[in-house]
Structure 1
Amino acid sequence: MVASQLGADGYDHTLGDFTAAAFTARAREEAGWLERLSTLEAATPDDAIDRDLVLSQLRGWVALASWPDWRRDPAVYLSAVFTSLFNPFQQRLKPEPELVAAAVSRLAEVPGVLAACRANLDPDLAAPLLVRRGLDQARTGRRFLTRTVPSMVRDPALSARLAEAAEPAARAFDELVAFLEGFACGGDWRMGERLYSTLLRERELLGYGAAELHEKGGAAWASLDERMREVARRAGGTADWRAVMESLMDDHPPTLEAMRAEYEAETRRVREFVRSRDLVTFPEGEKCLVLPSAEYTRPVAAVAHYLAPPPLTSSRTGVFFVPFTPDDFTEEEVRQRLRTNSRAQMPSIAAHETYPGHHWHLSHMAGNPRTVRKVFRTPYFSEGWALYVEKLLHEQGYFDTPATELAHLDCRVFRAARIVVDTALHCDDMSIEQAETFMATKASLTPGTARAEVSRYCAWPTQAPSYLTGALEIDRIRQAYQGSLKAFHDRIAGAGGLPLGLAERAVSRPGEGTPAG
């Protein structure tokens, strides 16, 4: 399944092996590869970066063997099914008959994958919160398989064939829903300071652990809070930036589709701004679509997100997914989602997801000739890059009103709050309720969005701090770079999505592995 998502040929017909034996065997292989590669000598500095990139990933996987997500979280199985069936039809890199044939083959494997989920979940390890998240996603399975995916097929006969093949898989989802509804478990979602710090040091190659990261988040929040007070006076006549942001959030698109259309217009505007300022080199053939978020992601993703083209293919078409709500949301819940995508906030969010954020970065780095750089990347770079470029555009004058400037800073203070909350949730004793209150009062999140955010942090430890942590590190590296701003951007982003220590090495020398430009 991973190989197919990367764009490697020959794997589109299968989901892979999700049995306990397969997970255990992969863990043994990872440990073996770590031992073998640790003694490998590199012929060139770029080879050394490649080796150390792989080693960082292997160290992370070996460390996480003590925290087996496949025994804790239904999302391991559900995400594999959803993405493997949705992404090929969204990206359409092969003729439709081939896509349908591959999907039919995969649908036949869905009952086995979901049976493995039921067999592998450990009631002593699985946390009720993670199971509830999985249940919410599983409930979308029948509609997704029997209606959403077939509706993406243009040929009526092929669509009907796919819908027919989906029925046994849909029944397997029904069975999983019933299982999860009655699944009693008592595990903990808290990762703990020891493993959390190990991942920061050995996988992300940061020089510090959870406690220092928590302090960095608090200091960043305090600094941003002071700056926002000054901007709020200009935007709303008061230093109370939360109150000003509340007022700005009342100016939002009237409907979800109008929100998508306004994001599409903002994406065109930010692309033209980046090009006019000559901030980066645009890869040939890149294109960014702006679409509603996929139905299966709506119960668990309350914010905008991006789908990159498979990195081992020639495609340069990505998708900026606008955060639509589930169909069963009330009118008020939809309104709150629209408020967290206000017109003042849209410029920052569009820049983050598209130009020169995720879409530009991943399209540009696809030109790197080193395959390993395309396969392995860390959110501490990719999310750090997307937040770094928000600050870059602020410096360049893109946020040209007090309202958009305040919203830009609010996006940043939100990421500082994420550092504080994620580390406190997993390494201390902050409760979910305290975390939700913190996110709703220390950043301009509605209560519903704050709940969805905190649920995500519980399920995905160490990811939430990646945004601001990476942005600060990239900014630090930029200050020491000898060369033009454009050359720095092309080089560091073109080198891949490297752990920050390796990214610094990649820009400190000419480098064989970066695209021209």
Structure 2
Amino acid sequence: MNFYNIVRVSVVAALLGTSCLPAAAVSPPPARTSAVTNEDERLLALFRDDQRREQAIDPLGMLYRTGKSDPALLRQVFTDNPVRALNKSVKLSLSALKKIDRAKLSPERQISYDVFLYDKTEEAFWLRPDMLALTQVTPLDHFGGLHIQFPSLMAKGSAVSYDNVADYEDALAVDRAFPFVLDNAVVRFRQGLDSGVVTSRLTTANMIAQIDGLLAQPIEDSPFYSPVRDFPDTVPMSERTRLQKAYFAAIRDEIYPAYRRLRAFLNDEYLPAAREQVGILGMKGGPGLYRHLIEQQTTLPLEPEAIYQLGLSEVARIQREMDVVRKEMGYGEGDLRSFFDTMRSDPKFHPKTKEELANGFSAVGHRVDELVPLFFNHVPRTKLLIQPYPAYREKYEAGGSYNQGAPDGSRPGIFFYNTYDLPSRFLTGIDTLYLHEGAPGHHFQISLAQENTALPDFQRFGGNNAYVEGWALYAETLGYEMGFYKDPMQHWGTLDDEMLRAMRLVVDTGIHFKGWTRDQAIDYMLSNSGMGRSDATAEVERYIAWPGQALGYKIGALTIQRLRKKAETELGPKFDIRAFHDQVLMSGALPLPILEAKIDRWIASQKG
């Protein structure tokens, strides 16, 4: 995953209760070329105006990309002031966009126009009072909540720079503003209690457990304290003790007490009133909201029943392929379901040590680096690190995820892998997980967009779930052409991961449209794949917390695969995989209808 699971949080996400990419910081306009028109300049000026307004209310987006933030702005997250300001900004932008003549724009700026119109129309929709009433009153969840993401963001080695005394002072001021965010979240949750719009008991209990885990850490082991456990040489010895005392006091007297207040509220007031039914259809206004979330997460107006049936079809297709690979692995007796049990129980399919996982991912990374020139014209400048999740996060995380690096390449991207409950992890999934979360998956797509300063910032840093996760799942399929899946073990692993994405279509709609229970969803995943119970449980609880998000993977990947097949069929020997990947990647994360229109234009141009 992004969020982008990578979970990337912006003020829009915080305000609206949705997971989306950070709004862009202001940067210089794209370089002028001979193709730039006067209408292009007007459009770019509109983009800059929109960015300035949204940056003024986006402390989290600023923090992700610059490592700095305004504590006063951060204190307003989950309050009405930035909601009103954002609503006003969106209306101004849509009004100004109507005055731009799209036909007079250069081809690349026409794409920018289309994406901007799509984005602003989406923002306007989710800022409607009826939508806010259903979203902003559930400000946190156990999968993407700021209560668990913010400590990681402020930890040393993440987005914030700790290069000198001033950096430490600035970060401490941001840390000290965070308790206000947690208190504001309680206010939002109480509004939901009053209106009857509440999250599930399961999600609430998981949040409580996460807070317990964080508070159980001695202050010196807290991610908030990590910046002062060791210092760069640029911080004088005379300042280090003072900074350590200041960080310790802020955690002890402000941050941890705020977490305790949040925990007490969730446990004593909210949990008894939270809904028993895990699916969003059990929430007031939930069924209608789910349809809107499907379109938000897939960029397509799909019906839940159609998605459910597509999922069943994909599950059946992948199982047929699995049965072939099972026999290639030497397990000709029995059936597929019994082989799933073998996969879960036989130690040879599971890592014995954390180092075994680390070495496996490192080896795949080296092989991918060697093969990349055959498939891509452009490679990110940003480096990619491979690391295990921090211990306080691993229990509630998926098998892997990606954290984006800095746009200028000064901070690397990180592929995180999970070492919690090693017997539940699989050696068979090493290749495909790296291709998805690392290269050429999330790391290529996110880094190439960020590094492309010819794009407006909302294309560099923005995006949608179906494209981002669809690309990463498509990247897994490149493992066939790269030769990774000639090994039946790794072939099984990629089919197992593809099965996960197919099952998501069934399970997400099962939970939120058909009324499945948590245990029913877990049992379905265990019956139709070889995944371990820990992974299945974490996956299902993620879908419960984040309705619709899991649909984007398969919908996006199938779209990109279909577009590639169309290009291969129509272009024949003129088709160049590297040029196709340029077309998919080099305009940023496009809504799927806009991506398809771009590919169609490219195919037509190549024919000529």
- The CA distance in 2 between the partners of 1:316 and 1:394, in whole Å, is 31
Query: Tell me, what secondary structure is at the counterpart of 2:413?
Result: strand
Normalising by structure 2, we get a TM-score of: 0.74
Q: Post-superposition shift, 1:255?
A: 2.3
The residue number in structure 1 matching 2:566 is 480
Cα gap change, 1:392/1:258 in structure 2, threshold over 3 Å: closer, same or farther?
closer
Compare 282-291 and 195-204 and name the one that shifted more.
195-204
Match of 2:588 among 490, 496, 500: 496
- The CA distance in 2 between the partners of 1:304 and 1:80, in whole Å, is 15
1:505 aligns with 2:597: yes
Query: Tell me, what secondary structure is at the counterpart of 2:484?
Result: coil
- The CA distance in 2 between the partners of 1:343 and 1:203, in whole Å, is 31
Cα gap change, 1:454/1:366 in structure 2, threshold over 3 Å: closer, same or farther?
same
1:367 aligns with 2:451: yes
- The CA distance in 1 between the partners of 2:473 and 2:546, in whole Å, is 19
User: How does 1:421-460 map onto structure 2 within 5 Å?
Assistant: 421-460=507-546
Cα gap change, 1:359/1:226 in structure 2, threshold over 3 Å: closer, same or farther?
same
Q: Post-superposition shift, 1:55?
A: 3.1
The residue number in structure 1 matching 2:170 is 102
The residue number in structure 1 matching 2:440 is 356
1:39-62 superposed Cα distances (whole Å, 9 cap, x missing partner): 454342223333234235425634
Q: Are the equivalent residues in 2 in contact too, given 1:30–1:58 (CA < 8 A)? A: no
Cα gap change, 1:23/1:204 in structure 2, threshold over 3 Å: closer, same or farther?
farther
Amino acid at match of 1:289: L
Q: Are the equivalent residues in 2 in contact too, given 1:477–1:504 (CA < 8 A)? A: yes
The residue number in structure 2 matching 1:256 is 354
1:178-220 superposed Cα distances (whole Å, 9 cap, x missing partner): 3322122234653344332233346643142222111111111
The residue number in structure 1 matching 2:250 is 165
1:147-196 superposed Cα distances (whole Å, 9 cap, x missing partner): 23323442254445423332221122123223322122234653344332
The residue number in structure 2 matching 1:67 is 134
Amino acid at match of 1:114: L
- The CA distance in 1 between the partners of 2:553 and 2:227, in whole Å, is 33
User: How does 1:287-366 map onto structure 2 within 5 Å?
Assistant: 287-311=383-407, 313-315=408-410, 317-325=412-420, 334-336=421-423, 339-340=424-425, 342-366=426-450
- The CA distance in 1 between the partners of 2:98 and 2:294, in whole Å, is 22
User: How does 1:65-214 map onto structure 2 within 5 Å?
Assistant: 65-71=132-138, 73=140, 76-79=145-148, 81-86=150-155, 89-91=157-159, 93=161, 95-121=163-189, 122-123=192-193, 124-126=196-198, 127-142=200-215, 143=217, 146-149=220-223, 150-153=225-228, 154-155=230-231, 157=241, 158-167=243-252, 168-183=254-269, 184-187=272-275, 190-192=279-281, 193-201=287-295, 204-214=298-308
1:18 aligns with 2:77: yes
Query: Tell me, what secondary structure is at the counterpart of 1:399?
Result: helix
Q: Are the equivalent residues in 2 in contact too, given 1:19–1:116 (CA < 8 A)? A: yes
Amino acid at match of 2:80: A
1:433-459 superposed Cα distances (whole Å, 9 cap, x missing partner): 100111111122222221211111010
1:236-265 superposed Cα distances (whole Å, 9 cap, x missing partner): 333734444544553322223442343233
- The CA distance in 1 between the partners of 2:132 and 2:66, in whole Å, is 26
Compare 260-269 and 28-37 and name the one that shifted more.
28-37
Amino acid at match of 2:226: S
Query: Tell me, what secondary structure is at the counterpart of 1:289?
Result: strand
Q: Post-superposition shift, 1:145?
A: 6.1
Cα gap change, 1:144/1:348 in structure 2, threshold over 3 Å: closer, same or farther?
farther
Cα gap change, 1:56/1:496 in structure 2, threshold over 3 Å: closer, same or farther?
farther
1:27-84 superposed Cα distances (whole Å, 9 cap, x missing partner): 7447635853674543422233332342354256347424214436355441463244
- The CA distance in 1 between the partners of 2:385 and 2:358, in whole Å, is 11
Compare 427-436 and 103-112 and name the one that shifted more.
103-112
Q: Are the equivalent residues in 2 in contact too, given 1:77–1:117 (CA < 8 A)? A: no
Query: Tell me, what secondary structure is at the counterpart of 1:89?
Result: coil
- The CA distance in 2 between the partners of 1:417 and 1:48, in whole Å, is 35
Larger Rg: 2
Cα gap change, 1:245/1:279 in structure 2, threshold over 3 Å: closer, same or farther?
farther
- The CA distance in 2 between the partners of 1:47 and 1:72, in whole Å, is 31
Q: Post-superposition shift, 1:19?
A: 4.3
- The CA distance in 2 between the partners of 1:65 and 1:190, in whole Å, is 19
Identity of aligned residues (%): 22
1:107-165 superposed Cα distances (whole Å, 9 cap, x missing partner): 21122222212222133322212211211222233338652332344225444542333
Query: Tell me, what secondary structure is at the counterpart of 2:414?
Result: strand
Query: Tell me, what secondary structure is at the counterpart of 1:67?
Result: helix
Q: Post-superposition shift, 1:460?
A: 0.6
- The CA distance in 2 between the partners of 1:464 and 1:37, in whole Å, is 35
Match of 1:378 among 464, 482, 485: 464
Cα gap change, 1:445/1:165 in structure 2, threshold over 3 Å: closer, same or farther?
same
Q: Are the equivalent residues in 1 in contact too, given 2:351–2:422 (CA < 8 A)? A: no
Compare 141-150 and 484-493 and name the one that shifted more.
141-150
The residue number in structure 1 matching 2:370 is 272
1:369-425 superposed Cα distances (whole Å, 9 cap, x missing partner): 221112321121111111111112113322121121111111101110011000111
- The CA distance in 2 between the partners of 1:496 and 1:466, in whole Å, is 17
Compare 245-254 and 426-435 and name the one that shifted more.
245-254
Amino acid at match of 2:135: P
Q: Post-superposition shift, 1:295?
A: 4.1
The residue number in structure 2 matching 1:419 is 505
Cα gap change, 1:98/1:490 in structure 2, threshold over 3 Å: closer, same or farther?
farther
1:387 aligns with 2:473: yes
Q: Post-superposition shift, 1:345?
A: 1.3
Cα gap change, 1:129/1:162 in structure 2, threshold over 3 Å: closer, same or farther?
same
Unmatched tracts of structure 1, length 5 or more: 326-333, 512-517
The residue number in structure 1 matching 2:330 is 236
Q: Are the equivalent residues in 2 in contact too, given 1:103–1:162 (CA < 8 A)? A: no
Query: Tell me, what secondary structure is at the counterpart of 2:486?
Result: coil
Cα gap change, 1:223/1:320 in structure 2, threshold over 3 Å: closer, same or farther?
same
- The CA distance in 1 between the partners of 2:95 and 2:329, in whole Å, is 58
- The CA distance in 2 between the partners of 1:17 and 1:225, in whole Å, is 50
Cα gap change, 1:136/1:8 in structure 2, threshold over 3 Å: closer, same or farther?
same
Q: Are the equivalent residues in 1 in contact too, given 2:68–2:171 (CA < 8 A)? A: no
Compare 104-113 and 91-100 and name the one that shifted more.
91-100
The residue number in structure 1 matching 2:15 is none
Amino acid at match of 1:151: S
- The CA distance in 2 between the partners of 1:284 and 1:410, in whole Å, is 29
- The CA distance in 2 between the partners of 1:290 and 1:159, in whole Å, is 29
Q: Are the equivalent residues in 2 in contact too, given 1:492–1:503 (CA < 8 A)? A: yes
- The CA distance in 2 between the partners of 1:104 and 1:476, in whole Å, is 49
Amino acid at match of 1:51: F
